[in-house]
Structure 1
Amino acid sequence: MSNLAQSPLQSDLDIAPLLLPTQVLRNDSEALAAAHALAQAARLQAGLRDRQRKLPWAEIEQFTRSGLGSISIPREYGGPQVSFVTLAEVFAIISAVDPALGQIPQNHFGILHVLQGAASESQKKQLFQSVLDGWRIGNGGPERGTKNTLDVKARISAEGDGFVINGQKFYSTGALFAHWVAVKALDDEGRQVMAFVRRGTPGLRIVDDWSGFGQRTTASGTVLLNNVPVDADLVVPIWRLGQTPGIQGAVSQLIQAAIDAGIARGALDDTISFVRERSRPWIDAKVERASDDLYVIADIGKLKIELHAAEALLRKAGQVLDQVSAAPITAHSAARASIAVAQAKVLTTEVSLQVSEKLFELAGSRATLAEFNLDRHWRNARVHTLHDPVRWKYHAVGAWHLNGTLPARHSWI
């Protein structure tokens, strides 16, 4: 166990989650099996959690106990380092049942990859070991009221042997469930750093004020930081990531695309089940079952093809990331990874929205009844796909293929 694994800290503002027993999975097959087991358990009350905005604590705890939280940690630090293909499939499997449960650890994995490129050796050892011991990482990056999503107002200043952070965050997915909150802030020289704040640290407060009409149970709300102390060895200079080519953005986007693919899978599965079991055929179809309606059959076929195309591009993007990460990363190889993921993200975005809307046309009026809560698929797709606009993915892909223009270097491409 890490020396960080002590009794939970707490202050008058924040209480850390319990540190649970966990395991380290050995390979990709075990990771996929754990994802299927979690999905099976999470399926039981996914609709009820959405309806009641009930946070998925039991499911997140199963995620931790299963060892899924450490599947991307490099082998040299004790992790299984599963392939990016497997990482994406793990998220798709979970998100097909409950995309909020899929989104909660998304930043956990994105941040783990950031550490590989920006953290010192001692920081990697400390933070990777904490995750192997069952610690979860939550997001404290985005802010409201800034010029754009890259703009940061939070400040970190030297004080004594360490630092203090002041600021306010929003869209803080995973923070409420986490043991670490990874906070982006500007240092005294105006450079962006990522500070790892232990839950329960005085001055830290997490507010569950997320009110989005989709992804309701992600708790993607506010993090308040009022003179929050941080150890110097827990401040990572992420500004250095901009100096060399990397795939941090592509890795983050791969997981986002996988969540959308999962939403589409879940929505299409529910469409097929409803048509088979509950829908009535239209009178002019002259058939006994809705599932024998020629137009319904054709539309299901079309949606399946489009979903399979999106999944194929998602898998291809994972393969490209596996290839690129296996060699020294160049500007060209990093761009190749970003473009591959962007192509997948376009299709997963579009198919998640299309399937979740088409569900009602094919399933019929009864599918709109609140008792079935099938609108959650569209609400989840609509909210999650707003993370970054796919119109800019089209632009990046076109500029790459037409003019050889490298995509921007940030977390959204």
Structure 2
Amino acid sequence: MIQPVEKAIDSTFEFSTPVTANSPALQALFDFIALGAIERERDRILPYDVIDLIRRSKLGALRIPVAEGGGGANVRELFEVVIRLGDADPNVAHILRNHFFVTEQILRSARSDRYRRWLKAVVDGAIIGLAATELEAKRAGSGEVVSTKLTPDGDGYRLNGIKYYSTGSLFADLIYVRLLTPDGIVAIAIIPTNREGITLVDDWDGFGQRLTGSGTTTFTNVRVEADEVIKETDPDADNVPYKVVAHLILTAVNAGIIRSVLRDAKNLVLKRPRTFYHSVSEQASDDPLLQQTVGQLSANAFAAEAIVLAAADALDRLNLALSQGEEAKNAAALNASLLAAKAKLIVDDLTLRSATLLFEVGGASSTKTVYNLDRHWRNARTLSSHNPSHFKARAIGDYEINGTALPIGGFF
């Protein structure tokens, strides 16, 4: 029987400093998260306690420099960690997607007082969610804002509107909101989720990634301070044209799912009590066809991880280019976006095929609900449906043939 989460947190984990990418404490944390992942997913148990544990570990500060209280990881190390967390529980990894995306934007921005304040909150354990999507917008991912608007209120504002697909916000301490200023300009605000007038609803009913809190967020006359609003023209704003991190994280979570599929496949073969009468081997573990299938899954996991990390390396190069002038920055950002898009096309396909291959080693009994092995395909299919691959492939092809610039909205 799995130990209750509260007891495990109190008796097992002590985090005196933020976890680092290669620390034993981080691996122990991921092992614990994996322990209850199947039951949480099957029984729809929202991982509040797991996220509280992540707060205590300061995992969210992984990319913040050590001198500022964080883990000091580079982008490649961040994505190695996301793959491992996606292996342990893709729902939890997805919850943190927008946190790492927003934190990366803050790190790339000038260290103004408000950015230092937000970084300090992350170092202290705060998790950041996102509220960007409006169903009234005619083109998904365009960044269009229709109804979420600020109105003047003394030296600040009041915010009203409704957002959907607010992944991670149900568990977050701060929320990154895309909105319209009183003069009709699209801007961002970062505000506490416990502020009066914010309502977070767990109404995501997709067949996969069901525990990510990707539901509706309503803002009703919410107070917003002037220095919580970020405009593109602000001197401390992140002005990198491509927002690659958010989407590459989804690809990294899918790479993690393949690792989990591989582990389940090996367990199925090793624990399989019988095989088919026309198999060439008495034991499943000696069956060359099952060995071949597991070998293919192992290769898929390796390839997916290598592809994601190659795209992550491009993001590290982008960070180096930020100080080398506008032309170098834009070229590096374009390359990072291009590699992330290519990575998605290949890794999504590998993940979906791997989730199906899993059942080739398990037989009909592996489809029992108690095993919940269909979660891999459901979760991978849901993750892959963000910015569908055919649109990505078309944009890549148009760039390769005609030199057409890649889209800059929708986390491309």
Give the TM-score normalised by structure 2. Answer: 0.88
- Quote the Cα distance in structure 1 between the aligned partners of 2:337 and 2:191: 30
Q: Which residue of 2 aligns with 1:281?
A: 275
2:105 is equivalent to residue 111 of structure 1? no
Deviation of 1:24 after TM superposition, in Å, equals: 4.7
CA spacing shift, 1:160–1:23, aligned 2, 3 Å: farther
Which residue does 1:14 correspond to in 2? none
1:76 offset after TM fit, Å? 6.1
Mapping of 1:183-332 within 5 angstroms?
Answer: 183-238=177-232, 246=240, 248-278=242-272, 280-328=274-322, 329-332=328-331
What are the superposed Cα offsets for residues 105-140 of structure 1, whole Å, 9 maximum, x if unpaired? 110111112234567712211111111111111111
Aligned equivalents of 1:247, 1:325: Cα separation in 2:
13
2:158 partner letter: V
Determine the structure 1 residue equivalent to 2:57.
66
Equivalent residue for 1:152?
145
For 1:46-57, list aligned pairs within 5 A: 46-57=37-48
Question: Contact 1:113–1:248 (CA<8 Å) still a contact in 2?
Answer: no
- Following superposition, the deviation at residue 407 of structure 1 comes to 1.4
Code of the aligned partner of 2:18: L
2:157 paired residue number: 163
Q: SS state of the match for residue 177, structure 2?
A: strand
Describe the shift of the 1:170–1:135 C-alpha distance in structure 2 as closer, same or farther (beyond 3 A).
same
**328-337 or 155-164, which deviates more:** 328-337
Consecutive unaligned residues of structure 1, counting only runs of 5 or more, are 1-20
Q: Deviations over 1:210-241 (max 9, x none)?
A: 22211111111111111111111111114779
The separation in 2 between residues aligned to 1:239 and 1:23, in whole angstroms, is: 39
Q: Return the letter of the residue paired with 1:307.
A: A
Q: Pick closer, same or farther for the CA change 1:143–1:280 going to 2, 3 Å.
A: farther
The separation in 2 between residues aligned to 1:70 and 1:397, in whole angstroms, is 33
**Structure 2 CA distance for aligned equivalents of residues 87 and 359 of structure 1:** 28
**CA shift digits 1:317-373 (9 cap, x unpaired):** 111211221123522211111111122222221122111122123211010011111
Question: Matched residues in 2 for 1:351 and 1:58: separation?
Answer: 32
> Contact (CA 8 Å) 1:38, 1:94: kept in 2 or not?
no
**CA pair 125-391 structure 1, distance change in 2 beyond 3 A:** same
- The SS at the match of 1:324 is helix
SS in structure 2 at match of 1:297: helix
Q: Deviations over 1:180-199 (max 9, x none)?
A: 11111111222221112212
Q: Are 1:25 and 2:24 matched, yes or no?
A: no
**What is the alpha-carbon distance in structure 1 between the residues aligned to residue 178 and residue 189 of structure 2?**
6
1:55 positional shift: 0.8
Instruction: Read off the aligned partner of 2:22 and give its amino acid letter.
Output: S
Partner of 2:92: 101
* Distance in structure 1 (CA, Å) of the matches to 2:273 and 2:156: 63
Q: Is the 8 A contact 1:34 1:68 kept in 2?
A: no
Matched with 2:73 is 82
**What displacement does 1:245 show?**
6.2
Provide closer, same or farther for how the CA distance between residues 240 and 335 of structure 1 changes in structure 2, counting only shifts above 3 A. Answer: farther
Partner of 1:346: 345
Question: In terms of mean alpha carbon deviation, does 188-197 or 358-367 score higher?
Answer: 188-197
Secondary structure, aligned partner of 1:387? coil
Counterpart of 1:3 in structure 2 is none
1:262: Cα distance to partner? 0.7
CA 1:279–1:375 in 2, change beyond 3 Å: closer, same or farther?
farther
Q: Note if contact 1:181-1:198 (Cα within 8 Å) is conserved in structure 2.
A: yes
Q: 1:213 to 1:119 in 2, by over 3 A?
A: farther
Identity %: 34
Structure 2: how far apart are the matches of 1:86 and 1:247? 23
Can you give the 5+ residue segments of structure 2 that lack an aligned partner in the other structure? Answer: 1-13, 323-327
Equivalent pair of 1:118/1:238 in contact (CA under 8 Å)? no
Distance (whole Å) between structure 1 residues aligned to residue 233 and residue 356 of structure 2: 41
Secondary structure of the equivalent of 1:195? strand
**Compared CA separation, residues 167 and 23, structure 1 to 2 (3 A):** farther
Paired residues in the alignment total 390
Q: Distance in 2 between matches of 1:254 and 1:282?
A: 41
Aligned partners of 1:122, 1:245: CA distance in 2, in Å? 18
TM-score normalised by structure 1 residue count: 0.88
Give the match's secondary structure for 2:307.
helix
1:390 partnered with 2:389: yes
**Distance in 1 between residues matched to 2:19 and 2:364, nearest whole Å:** 47
CA distance 1:39–1:301, change in 2 (3 Å): same
Cα 1:132/1:23, change in 2 over 3 Å? farther
Structure 1 window deviating more from structure 2 (248-257 vs 316-325): it is: 248-257
Give the aligned partner of residue 134 of structure 1: 125
Please say if residues 232 and 239 of structure 2, whose CA atoms lie closer than 8 Å, have aligned partners that are also in contact: no
